[in-house]
A and B are shown apart, each in its own frame.
Chain A
Amino acid sequence: MSETFYNEIINEHNLNPYHKHSIEGANFTLEGVNPSCGDDIILNLKVDESGIIVDGAYEGDGCAISQASADIMLDLVIGRSRDEALHLADIFMRMIKEGITDEEKEELEEAGILESVSHMPARVKCAVLGWRTLTEMFE
């Protein structure tokens, strides 16, 4: 793991998350847990009739990677459709597990900085927790 992995972006999302709070009127709620490390998030999304994620938030407890990754994910998917969110989650998972193209990485915007997690087997589960929970919720 590189010395700089806990970079400013990760630290900022971990220490001052934008989306870590409760929300009113969520119609999708799912808890995601990593039993081995104790990461635990509850993802809440509000999706309107046309399938657009109009609001979202998470609560829970976990390491910086799991928390920051969930926060970054919500930045990316709020305002998008369910299908778009699933598409982005798929790219994210592939980025961590097998690698993606530059164009795909661009689609992930800030979430692309988590690519280096793919070289840290101990942290993979942390990074994908929010994304995995989102995918399970919609599938």
Chain B
Amino acid sequence: MTPAENDIRAEFPLINSNTVAYLDNAATTQKPQCVLDAVNSYYVNSNANPLRGLYDLSLKATQAYEDARNAVAELIGAASDEIVFTRNATESLNLIAYSYGLHNLREGDEIIVSVAEHHSNFLPWKNVAEHTGAKVVYWDCEPDGYLNPDTLTGLIGDRTKLVAVTHVSNVLGRVNDIRKIADIVHTHGALVICDGSQSVPHMKTDVHDLDADFFVFSGHKMYAPMGIGVMYGRRKLLDAMPPFLYGGEMIETVTKERVTYAEVPHKFEAGTVNAGGAVGLHAAIDFVNRYGYELIESRERELTDHAFDAMSRMPYITIIGSEKSDEHMGIIAFKVEGVHPHDVTAIFSDANIAVRAGHHCAQPLHKHLGIMSSTRVSFAFYNTMEEVDRFLEVLESIRSRMGIM
């Protein structure tokens, strides 16, 4: 182990106190001590209801919460008033669907959804379609998971209002060229809703480079606590959108007859906010910046390449998606011939290795690829080559453990 690796791992209390090889990072990451400390310190030193009181503590809480918003804005190249805090990516996508989708779409309109979407970037659109009479159109990927812009060009037209596409698929691990997609979409006057849940934790993202109209992610997949997520939207769009939830903190004035809503982003943050979570996300962003995306990417690349090379040489293992390791951003979903993914995962669990089995909330993708379910291994930069070797060793023994010679 290089000293850097020891240093990284030392920051994660769960990893230090546990022998598990945690290889389910696409589901959620472990939390470093600095994030836990920041949340704790917020409640010990600064807690009051943010945005409400005029006394010192409340101002301090407001400051902490707004500082977090600034940090998020800087992380993804947005302006602070374009950042709305939510619970997670799912809530962010629902916010867009309820507030923008339900109010702007009508019968005859079309929403293009890539087949690789997590259910959270598909079901809200299906719901919008059901309520407005709009239609969901599927954008299929090629057998290796590539979302071909030419296919999109064939689907898109005047009726298209929205295109929902993930930056990185949580099954394929493939990075989609959002800029290129956005260029096509914008030519038709439609909007791009981009799901950054699996990109922001692992690579530098910039909403202006991507040219996404909406961009969402969850804090918990990038070392922050659960329960804090982000929705970015272009200021112009946010200004024109009605609120999502109604209640406290999202108004300017209320009389019995009339309400004026607060400015964005507060218009979308009804009720008492998750300031502790936002502070945790801020600390997580500082943590990521301290190591830097360059280091994170290069470590995750090494781990992925090592696993991928060995897996591609194993007979009876089929990797889902691209045959090239560099088209997997730390995520490898696979099948073991003759063994159900649930059994594969149970055997890993027995060896104290955490990997995921199932359809990974991407049933349409599995169906499109002709499989019911798969097993997924996913890395974070705190994982080690030793953990990958442990994983590979167990993987090689699975078929014989199941009585297959």
> Do the two chains belong together in a single complex?
yes
Q: Give the interface of A toward B (CB within 8 A).
A: 1-3, 5-6, 8, 11-12, 14-15, 36-40, 61-65, 67, 120, 122-123, 126
B347 in contact (CB, < 8 A): yes
Q: Give the interface of B toward A (CB within 8 A).
A: 338-343, 346-347, 349-350, 357-359, 372-373, 401-404
* Least CB distance, B361 to chain A, in whole angstroms: 11
Could you list some 8 contacts between A and B, CB below 8 A? A5-B346, A6-B401, A6-B403, A37-B357, A38-B372, A65-B342, A67-B340, A122-B346
Contact B358 A37 (CB under 8 A): yes
**Given known contacts A3-B350, A6-B347, A61-B372, A37 and B403 CB-to-CB distance under 8 angstroms:** no
Dominant secondary structure of chain A at its interface with chain B = mixed
Which chain A positions have C-beta within 8 A of B373? 37-38
Contact B343 A63 (CB under 8 A): yes
A122 (CB) vs chain B CBs: closest residue: B346
A64 CA / B349 CA spacing, docked (Å): 15
Contact B342 A39 (CB under 8 A): yes
Contact A62 B346 (CB under 8 A): no
Contact A12 B403 (CB under 8 A): yes
Q: Which are the 10 A-B pairs with shortest beta-carbon distances?
A: A11-B403, A63-B342, A63-B340, A38-B373, A64-B343, A63-B343, A1-B350, A37-B342, A38-B372, A15-B403
Contact A1 B346 (CB under 8 A): yes
A61 CA / B343 CA spacing, docked (Å): 13
B351 (CB) vs chain A CBs: closest residue: A3
Contact B358 A15 (CB under 8 A): no
Which chain A positions have C-beta within 8 A of B403? 6, 8, 11-12, 14-15
Contact B402 A11 (CB under 8 A): yes
**Given known contacts A6-B402, A11-B403, A65 and B343 CB-to-CB distance under 8 angstroms:** yes
A3 CA / B352 CA spacing, docked (Å): 12
A1-B349, A63-B341 given; 11 more Cβ-contact pairs under 8 Å: A1-B346, A2-B350, A5-B346, A11-B402, A15-B338, A15-B402, A36-B358, A61-B340, A63-B343, A122-B349, A123-B346
Which chain B positions have C-beta within 8 A of A120? 346
Which chain B positions have C-beta within 8 A of A61? 340, 372
Contact A6 B349 (CB under 8 A): no
Which chain B positions have C-beta within 8 A of A36? 358
Which chain B positions have C-beta within 8 A of A62? 340, 342
Which chain A positions have C-beta within 8 A of B372? 38, 40, 61
